[in-house]
Amino acid sequence: MLVSTIILIVSFFLDGILSNFLPYMVGDLSLFTPMLTIVSFVIIYPFFVKNKKAYYLSALIVGLCYDFMYTNLLFYNAILFLIVALLITLLYKYIQPTWFTILFFVFLVIVGYECLNAFIILIFQLVPMTFGRLIYKISHSLILNLCYGEVLYLIVLLLPKRFKKISIN
């Protein structure tokens, strides 16, 4: 539980730090758009296999903190992070995590999050959203987040057994 909390906190603050230094305007996204908190949910799920309720609660709390600190949209990211946590639970239920499948999970979670985001934007007509913009956002967030997911996965693999309650390989 301590390792997963540290990973979430570091990822949460790295999201904020990197978003201050990388451009995040429509049509001017960096190829390294951070979504590190969402990626960390993919990596920490094995720590919560026996306590899914705590996993969902942590997703909800981190989503609320994300709303307060970064977006000012109360419950928006809290609900999206909870849906992402459900998607991750579903992925881990059917596929054994390995080096390659972690990359696949991160890819699917980023696509799922961005599609949910676009769907909500379309429903409430917040800003004009097209399929091209959705593909643009997805493609510009993959490089950094896939690399971050692999680095986190390797760090968790290299942790001593006493910090891990279960095997993650």
pLDDT digits (tens, 9 = 90+) for 16-39: 888 777 665 555 555 667 889 999
Tokens encoding 136: 């643009």
Which one-letter amino acid corresponds to residue 51? N
Vertex 30, ends 138 and 136: CA angle to 5°?
30
Dist CA 169 CA 87 (whole Å): 20
The predicted pLDDT at position 167 comes to 46
Alpha helices per DSSP H over 33-126: 36-44, 52-66, 76-94, 99-124
Task: Give the CB-side neighbour count of residue 96, counting CA atoms within 13 A.
Answer: 3
Phi, psi of 106 (to 5 degrees): -60, -45
pTM of the model: 0.86
**DSSP of 74-94, one letter per residue?**
TTHHHHHHHHHHHHHHHHHHH
Give me the tens of pLDDT residue by residue for the chain, a chain 169 residues long: 788 899 999 999 998 888 777 665 555 555 667 889 999 999 999 889 888 999 999 999 999 999 998 888 889 999 999 999 999 999 999 888 888 899 999 999 999 999 998 898 888 887 778 888 888 888 878 888 899 999 999 998 888 776 665 545 4
Residues 6 or more apart whose Cβ sits within 8 Å of residue 158: none
Q: What is the CA radius of gyration of the chain?
A: 16
Place of tokens 């390659």: 100
Contact predicate 89/64, CB 8 Å: no
Of the candidates 168, 114, 146, the one whose C-alpha atom is nearest the C-alpha of residue 36 is: 146
